[in-house]
């Protein structure tokens, strides 16, 4: 069994439960004889290469325990794509701190980082055990049923769309539509979660646009008009990465002015939701809203799903168990043992497989029209998002 110190890093965008995984690693490593000190990377692998390392053993145990309900990335994060020139520096810092256990919490690129660092150390004769802990609100990691962080972000989306939809319904004499944008560049898991907000036929959302399906403006506008004609308003949810058939993002404007000139406002940072808003207003002249909450989906601790937090913590603890057993080059994965009642267990997936690319939504989760999800998708999502509050509406008839 390797004797040395452990290092933990967080990479990419946070989730509202990523610190629960951090707490799981720290608490599982505490008191383990092969592990001397448990250290933390300040601002991920980028800070690590500058020697920015924290001694997490100095933290009060109560503070570590409180990480389980603390949002954002407590260690600080980065988005650094490793270059060949980085590896000698990484090995130098590993040697300086006698690090033999290497844990990173993150997504595809993070797993690629562990995989490449471990492989490089092997070529240099330096023994290192590397284990990854999954994290992403996008839910697009291969090799796991779902990722810690997705359930809480999906809950944030579903609650936001549900409540904003009620507002839009009651304000339809003023604003005739609302567009809500989620994060997620290449997969539609997060916008799909909005479907759980829908109980009645006229409830939000009416249309869900997913990156897995090419955007057709004429078909989209026809769908919007159809729902407006039925209900007097329309709710649209879109993923930020929705594209036209030729691969151009809808956030790169194809809307034209009255002189048929293309508006290139998107090149300055226009969102997909804003472009959809412009399309609808240009086609029908209606008032409406677009809502882009960006990173709030990643760090809203008030909307955490308890099952999500429990899974995140368990993944952190399992990473240490695997490392102490000599298992390296893997990511902890979540296995769905049953859906109703929901039950899960933990497994592993080779890091090389996780780093291959993003996991899209399967075809049977998307309806034939490509503008909503199927019952199969909603059954998959429901235990991850949890129960949503039930709201009432007035049913009294008008006096005649």
The CATH code of the domain that includes 242 is: 3.40.50.460
Same domain, 190 and 129: no
| Of the residues 337, 354, 371, the one at which a domain ends | 354
- Tell me whether residue 394 is in a domain: no
Sign for the pseudo-dihedral over CA of 320, 322, 324, 327? negative
Structural domains of the chain, count: 2
State the pLDDT at residue 265: 40
Q: How far apart are CA 176 and CA 224, in angstroms?
A: 10
3-state class (DSSP) for residue 391: coil
Q: Is residue 84 classed exposed, middle or buried when 0-12, 13-18 and 19+ CB atoms within 10 A define those classes?
A: exposed
- Tell me whether residue 260 is in a domain: yes
The confidence band for 185, taking pLDDT boundaries of 50, 70 and 90, is: confident
- Tell me whether residue 398 is in a domain: no
Same domain, 99 and 73: yes
Same domain, 328 and 227: no
The confidence band for 1, taking pLDDT boundaries of 50, 70 and 90, is: confident
pLDDT digits (tens, 9 = 90+) for 320-330: 999 999 999 99
- Tell me whether residue 136 is in a domain: yes
Q: Strand pairing of 234-239 and 129-134?
A: unpaired
Mean pLDDT of 372-378: 98
The confidence band for 252, taking pLDDT boundaries of 50, 70 and 90, is: confident
The confidence band for 269, taking pLDDT boundaries of 50, 70 and 90, is: low
Number of H helices, E strands in the chain: 13, 11
- Tell me whether residue 400 is in a domain: no
- Tell me whether residue 392 is in a domain: no
Same domain, 31 and 63: yes
| Of the residues 354, 373, 393, the one at which a domain ends | 354
The question of whether 246 is a catalytic residue gets the answer no
Checking if the pLDDT of 283 tops 90, the result is: yes
Q: How far apart are CA 156 and CA 167, in angstroms?
A: 17
- Lowest-confidence pick of 100-104, 226-230, 267-271: 267-271
Checking if the pLDDT of 253 tops 80, the result is: no
Q: Strand pairing of 234-239 and 342-350?
A: unpaired
Closest CA to 160 of 282, 297, 53: 297
Percent of the chain residues past pLDDT 70, beyond the cut:
96
Q: How far apart are CA 22 and CA 104, in angstroms?
A: 9
292 bridge partner residues: 181
- Tell me whether residue 101 is in a domain: yes
Mean pLDDT of 129-152: 97
Checking if the pLDDT of 229 tops 70, the result is: yes
Same domain, 158 and 277: yes
The confidence band for 356, taking pLDDT boundaries of 50, 70 and 90, is: confident
State the pLDDT at residue 25: 98
Same domain, 240 and 285: yes
Same domain, 243 and 380: yes
Checking if the pLDDT of 263 tops 80, the result is: no
Same domain, 211 and 328: no
Mean pLDDT of 46-70: 97
State the pLDDT at residue 264: 40
Mean pLDDT of 143-152: 98
* Planar angle of CA 363, 159, 339, nearest 5 degrees: 50
- Tell me whether residue 54 is in a domain: yes
Instruction: Tell me how crowded residue 2 is: count the other CB atoms within 10 A of its CB.
Output: 14
Which domain, by its residues, includes 168?
151-300+362-385
State the pLDDT at residue 255: 56
Same domain, 157 and 135: no
Mean pLDDT of 99-103: 98
CB 366 within 8 A of CB 374: yes
State the pLDDT at residue 256: 53
Mean pLDDT of 200-207: 97
Same domain, 22 and 55: yes
Mean pLDDT of 45-72: 97
Closest CA to 56 of 69, 73, 42: 42
Same domain, 71 and 155: no
Catalytic: which of 86, 112, 138, 203?
A: 138
The enclosing H or E element of 179 equals strand 177-182
Same domain, 53 and 18: yes
Q: What is the CATH number of the domain that holds 95?
A: 3.40.50.450
Question: For the chain, how long is the longest CA-to-CA vector?
Answer: 87
């Amino acid at each position: 069994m390797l004797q040395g110190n452990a290092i933990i890093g967080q990479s990419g965008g946070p989730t509202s439960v990523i610190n629960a995984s951090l707490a799981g690693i720290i608490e599982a490593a505490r008191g383990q004889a092969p592990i001397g000190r448990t250290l933390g990377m300040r601002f991920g692998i980028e800070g690590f290469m500058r020697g920015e390392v924290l001694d997490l053993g100095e933290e009060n145990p109560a503070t570590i325990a409180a990480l389980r309900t603390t949002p954002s990335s407590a260690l600080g994060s980065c988005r650094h794509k490793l270059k060949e020139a980085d590896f000698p520096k990484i090995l130098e810092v590993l040697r300086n701190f006698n690090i033999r256990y290497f844990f990173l919490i993150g997504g595809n690129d993070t797993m690629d980082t562990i995989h490449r660092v471990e492989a490089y150390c092997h070529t240099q004769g330096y023994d290192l055990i590397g284990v990854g802990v999954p994290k992403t609100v996008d839910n697009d990691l291969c090799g796991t049923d779902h990722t810690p962080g997705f359930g809480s972000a999906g809950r944030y989306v579903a609650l936001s769309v549900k409540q904003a939809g009620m507002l839009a319904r009651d304000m339809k004499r003023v604003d005739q539509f609302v567009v809500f944008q989620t994060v997620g560049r290449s997969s539609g898991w997060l916008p799909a979660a909005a479907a759980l907000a829908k109980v009645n036929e006229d409830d939000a959302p009416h249309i869900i646009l997913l990156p897995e399906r090419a955007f057709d403006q004429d078909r989209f506008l026809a769908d919007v008009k159809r729902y407006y004609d039925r209900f007097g308003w329309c709710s649209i949810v879109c993923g930020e990465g929705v594209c036209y058939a030729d691969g151009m993002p809808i956030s790169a404007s194809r809307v034209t002015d009255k002189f048929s000139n293309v508006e290139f406002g998107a090149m300055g940072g226009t969102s997909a939701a804003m472009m959809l808003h412009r399309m609808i207003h240009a086609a029908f002249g209606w008032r409406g809203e677009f809502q882009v909450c960006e990173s709030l989906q990643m760090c809203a601790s008030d909307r955490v799903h308890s099952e999500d937090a429990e899974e995140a913590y368990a993944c952190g603890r399992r990473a240490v168990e695997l490392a102490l057993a000599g298992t390296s080059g893997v990511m902890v994965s979540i296995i769905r043992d049953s859906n109703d009642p929901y039950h899960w267990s933990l497994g592993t997936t080779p890091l090389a497989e996780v780093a291959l690319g993003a996991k899209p939504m399967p075809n049977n989760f998307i309806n034939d029209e490509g503008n909503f999800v199927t019952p199969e998708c909603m059954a998959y999502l429901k235990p991850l998002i949890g129960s949503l509050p039930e709201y009432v509406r007035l049913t009294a008839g008008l006096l005649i």
